[in-house]
Amino acid sequence: MNPLSSIDRSLLIDSAATLGLLVGLFLLRMALQRAITNNPNFSLEQRRRWSVTLRNGLLVAGLISMILIWATELHSLLVSLAAFAVAMVIATKELLLCFSGAVMRSGGRLYDIGDRIEVAGHRGTVIDLNMFSTLLVEDDSQCHQRTGRVVTIPNALLLNSAVVRESFLDRFVTHQFNVPIGPTEDWRAAEHELLRLARAEAAPVLDEIRATAQRMIEQHALSVPVPEPAVTLLLKETDKLMLVVHVPTHLDTRHPVEQRILRGYLDWRSGRPQAEPVAHEETATTGPAKPKASVH
């Protein structure tokens, strides 16, 4: 048997049944409407109420009957639409994930233009945002300087990767780095010298950092610890000691500050006179460029 002739016959039967249904409903309504109108026992309000009820009842009955008549064809249509919808979801999966990540980013206020962030191992300053991606000027994770590369991060990564924002205290951060100490060295003297150098570097910006921390406490109702220069001990093994230096500083001057502290510490260890520290204003000028400068 030819499948096309079977389909044509099925459509012909359903069309004839639909036509017969519509004619039957039309004749039924005319008959019942005439009976309602000619009934002397009904008031004008009752006739109007019965007429509306009759019309709505026949409409519902007609729709149900049409669905039953065309059930097979409707089932095929729904299956086709479902398959099309699944195909569209699969084809646009990444775009939908990127859009969802953008919604989460803006709804949760994860970061904004100018923030220093790290996502899925990529670290840098945000210079552009859109519905599908985030644009970063990359920072080197070791020396904290601009690499000159621009990284495009799909917003889909925000759904399954942690977002680290380094600039919660506005443009300041507590920078940390390790200084190894030999087993025979005087770690107390080294700790004292590193703490002295860290306090000297943090002194010009410490008051501003404290004011920023206090503002964050008031805005977010958080107990934000006020950053202070510190040196802590880290004992990895019995013969391997690390001095961890914590120094509050500006985001753009982390590398110069770390270098000055290390150079001063090495001069102290060798017994040589320490060089005069470079002015912070000059360091800020000659240090890593601002985000806008990197864009240009």
CA distance 212 to 170: 7
pLDDT given at position 224: 62
Q: Are 172 and 209 in contact (CB under 8 A)?
A: yes
pLDDT given at position 29: 87
Q: Which long-range CB contacts under 8 A does 147-152 form with residues at least 24 apart?
A: 148/294, 151/122, 151/124
CA distance 131 to 156: 10
* φ and ψ of 141, to 5 deg: -70, -15
- Highest average pLDDT, of 138-147, 162-171, 201-210, comes from 201-210
| Global confidence as pTM | 0.48
Predicted confidence (pLDDT) at residue 77 exceeds the cutoff of 80: yes
pLDDT given at position 41: 81
Alpha carbons within 13 angstroms on the beta-carbon side of residue 92 total 10
Mean pLDDT throughout 259-282?
Answer: 71
Torsional class of 114: left (φ above 0), alpha (ψ -120 to 50), beta (otherwise) = left
Q: Hey, is 206 helix, strand or coil?
A: helix
Mean pLDDT lowest for which of 104-113, 149-158, 171-180, 215-224?
215-224
Mean pLDDT throughout 122-144?
Answer: 80
Q: Hey, is 126 helix, strand or coil?
A: strand
Amino acid residing at 230: A
pLDDT given at position 225: 66
Mean pLDDT throughout 251-259?
Answer: 82
Mean pLDDT throughout 22-32?
Answer: 89
Mean pLDDT lowest for which of 153-162, 191-200, 226-235, 279-288?
279-288
Mean pLDDT throughout 172-199?
Answer: 86
Mean pLDDT lowest for which of 34-48, 142-156, 187-201, 274-288?
274-288
Can you spell out the DSSP letters for 47-108?
HHHHHHHHHHHHHHHHHHHHHHHTHHHHHHHHHHHHHHHHHHHHHTHHHHHHHHHHHHHHHH
Can you spell out the DSSP letters for 157-175?
GGGTS-EEES-TBTTEEEE
